[in-house]
């Protein structure tokens, strides 16, 4: 069996490698060829030209240095906006959940529109609570192993990225209608479910048995 990419990359970087694998690579023309290609690729990357910064950059840096804290760059505003958005998401979620919990059946509510809205609110409320339960379950799992399968790691990364993407969309929650909000929370719960399954499998493979873990409700 030929060496995989990670093994070849480890050998290229001079990292410790299983002796049997190292011996195979040394004697296998195909693996040797692949190793040489990886080395050439690193050399080629190092030879790529540098990007030239815009000519006015130094002048703008000097301007910012001369006006401490008077002007923030757009990138800084992006960080600040992101942080503010995150706070809004958390606050909105907490407020929303508590409101739904408190007002399960608004006094005097009548008519199909009101009933549908209330029903949708309850549905979203359930999804928000389910998200919180799944996140609590994920937090209760042991830490991820230092070494794991590349496929597992990539899958977890993909799911986490998708969840973060949804969170970014939900940060604009006040501008999204209830139907779309419900759909997004539903997707978030599904993604968290998938993440729990993958993480549970990872834990079962690499860590101590966790017989007490309750996944029956997933």
Q: Which residues bind other proteins (CB under 8 A)?
A: 4-6, 9-10, 13, 37-38, 41-42, 44-54, 57-58, 60-61, 64-65, 68, 73-76, 78-79, 81-82, 85-86, 144-148, 150, 153-154, 157, 161-162, 164-165, 167-169, 171-172
- DSSP-H helix ranges across 48-111: 57-66, 74-102
Between 63 and 101, CB nearer to other proteins: 63
* Cα distance between residue 175 and residue 157, in whole Å: 28
In the bound complex, what is the minimum distance in angstroms from residue 55's beta carbon to other proteins? Answer: 11
Between 4 and 101, CB nearer to other proteins: 4
Between 104 and 172, CB nearer to other proteins: 172
Between 39 and 215, CB nearer to other proteins: 39
In the bound complex, what is the minimum distance in angstroms from residue 168's beta carbon to other proteins? Answer: 4
Q: How far is CA 103 from CA 9, 95, 100, 126, 131, in A?
A: 58, 12, 5, 13, 20
Instruction: Specify the DSSP element, H or E, that contains 199.
Output: helix 178-206
Residues 6+ apart with CB under 8 A from 33: none
Nearest to 4 by CA among 44, 35, 37, 26: 35
In the bound complex, what is the minimum distance in angstroms from residue 33's beta carbon to other proteins? Answer: 12
Nearest to 38 by CA among 2, 75, 1, 8: 8
Between 167 and 182, CB nearer to other proteins: 167
In the bound complex, what is the minimum distance in angstroms from residue 164's beta carbon to other proteins? Answer: 6
In the bound complex, what is the minimum distance in angstroms from residue 74's beta carbon to other proteins? Answer: 5
């Amino acid at each position: 069996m030929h060496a995989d990419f990670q093994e070849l990359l480890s050998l290229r970087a001079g990292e410790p490698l299983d002796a049997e694998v190292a011996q195979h690579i040394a004697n296998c023309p195909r693996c040797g060829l692949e190793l040489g290609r990886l080395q050439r690729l690193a050399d080629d990357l190092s030879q790529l030209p540098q990007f030239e910064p815009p000519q006015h950059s130094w002048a703008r840096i000097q301007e910012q240095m001369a006006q401490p804290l008077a002007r923030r760059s757009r990138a800084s505003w992006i960080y600040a906006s992101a942080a503010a958005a995150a706070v809004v998401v958390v606050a909105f979620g907490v407020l929303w959940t508590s409101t739904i919990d408190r007002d399960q059946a608004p006094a005097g509510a009548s008519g199909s529109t009101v009933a549908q809205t209330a029903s949708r609110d309850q549905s979203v409320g359930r999804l928000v609570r389910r998200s919180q339960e799944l996140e609590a379950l994920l937090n209760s799992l042991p830490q991820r192993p230092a070494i794991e399968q590349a496929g597992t790691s990539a899958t977890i990364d993909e799911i986490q990225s998708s969840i973060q993407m949804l969170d970014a969309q939900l940060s604009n929650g006040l501008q999204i209608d209830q139907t779309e909000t419900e759909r997004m929370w539903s997707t978030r719960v599904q993604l968290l479910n998938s993440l729990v399954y993958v993480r549970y499998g990872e834990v079962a493979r690499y860590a101590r048995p966790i017989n007490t873990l309750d996944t029956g409700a997933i």
